[in-house]
């Protein structure tokens, strides 16, 4: 007996294949690929036992394991699930769709008084090979990150930025967070990215910058302590070896969320 096979079934198969592929990529990046493969093997065995061989006793036991296992997987992969949902919501096409249903506010242009102190401080620290990590909040609030550091709430100033990241400063190892055109906090702790394709020559500051750019829409500026090179992490991607003009251009375009 053959079941009718139509266009809906083709779309169904394609969507399931795309979902499995995306989950595979997500698990691969989070170093949970073996767990994902093990889950897929168990699911295939469960389908064979319960649907094809119709073993009622073993099938019922596996049914119970599946029902309990779903809760266990949610607890085990809560960070991966959060990252997946954020990536889905932050996708450009989704954002463009949401703009149709939201009111467009007046988008204020970023003035030079906001950008230039950051650019000049980064260039000065680059010449002196002073390590720095500056996170600029955009659309997603980062209050949980602020709570990990020391509250400052000061206007953006080149000397203040350089003093915070001075090698003998107690706050120089953490990240500075800029919110609403003010230096909100310093010495903040960021989530570290576990992406395997990050170049080995990039250190912990770069991994922390990548981590916050994956978990939010924030823009992170890194000044390397080893090479003095300036980089930016945004939307889970690096822009490396930036000049002052390139950094200014990125900040002008990205500092205020679109």
Residue 233's DSSP bridge partners are 220, 238
Determine the distance from the C-alpha atom of residue 43 to the mean position of all C-alpha atoms in its chain, rounded to a whole number.
30
Q: For residue 1, what is the DSSP state?
A: -
pLDDT digits (tens, 9 = 90+) for 106-158: 444 456 788 999 999 999 999 999 999 999 998 888 888 999 999 999 999 99
Helix, strand or coil, per DSSP, at residue 175: strand
Give the confidence band of 18 by pLDDT, cuts at 50, 70, 90. Answer: confident
pLDDT digits (tens, 9 = 90+) for 155-208: 999 999 999 999 888 888 899 999 988 999 999 999 888 777 788 888 899 999
CA distance 32 to 228: 34
Give the pLDDT of residue 247.
94
Give the pLDDT of residue 89.
60
Average pLDDT, the chain: 81
CA distance 73 to 208: 26
pLDDT digits (tens, 9 = 90+) for 222-242: 999 999 999 999 988 899 999
Question: CB neighbours of 100 closer than 8 A, spacing ≥ 6?
Answer: none
Per-domain boundaries in the chain:
7-99, 112-254
In terms of Cα–Cα distance, which of 221, 252, 249, 237 is closest to 126? 221
What CATH homologous superfamily does 112-254 map to?
Answer: DNA integrity scanning protein, DisA, N-terminal domain (3.40.1700.10)
């Amino acid at each position: 007996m053959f079941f009718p096979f139509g266009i809906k079934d083709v779309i169904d198969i394609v969507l399931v294949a795309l979902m499995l592929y995306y989950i595979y990529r997500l698990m691969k990046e989070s170093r949970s690929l073996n767990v994902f493969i093990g889950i897929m093997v168990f699911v295939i065995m469960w389908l064979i036992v319960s649907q094809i061989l119709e073993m009622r006793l073993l099938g019922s036991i596996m049914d119970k394991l599946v029902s309990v296992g779903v809760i266990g997987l949610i607890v085990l992969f809560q960070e991966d699930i959060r990252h997946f949902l954020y990536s889905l919501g932050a996708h450009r096409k989704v954002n463009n769709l949401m703009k149709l249903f939201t009111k467009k506010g007046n988008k204020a242009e970023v003035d030079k008084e906001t950008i230039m102190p950051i650019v000049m401080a980064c260039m000065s620290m680059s010449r002196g090979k002073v390590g720095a990590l500056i996170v600029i909040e955009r659309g997603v609030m980062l209050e949980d990150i602020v709570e990990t550091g020391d509250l400052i709430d000061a206007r953006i100033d080149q000397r203040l930025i350089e003093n915070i990241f001075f090698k003998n400063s107690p706050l120089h190892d953490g990240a500075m967070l800029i919110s609403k055109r003010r230096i909100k906090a310093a010495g903040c702790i960021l989530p570290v990215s576990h992406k395997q394709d990050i170049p080995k020559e990039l250190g912990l500051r770069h991994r922390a910058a990548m981590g916050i750019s994956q978990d939010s829409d924030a823009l992170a500026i890194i000044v390397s302590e080893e090479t003095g090179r300036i980089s930016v992490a945004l939307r889970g991607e690096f822009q490396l070896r930036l000049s002052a003009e390139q950094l200014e251009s990125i900040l002008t375009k990205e500092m205020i969320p679109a």
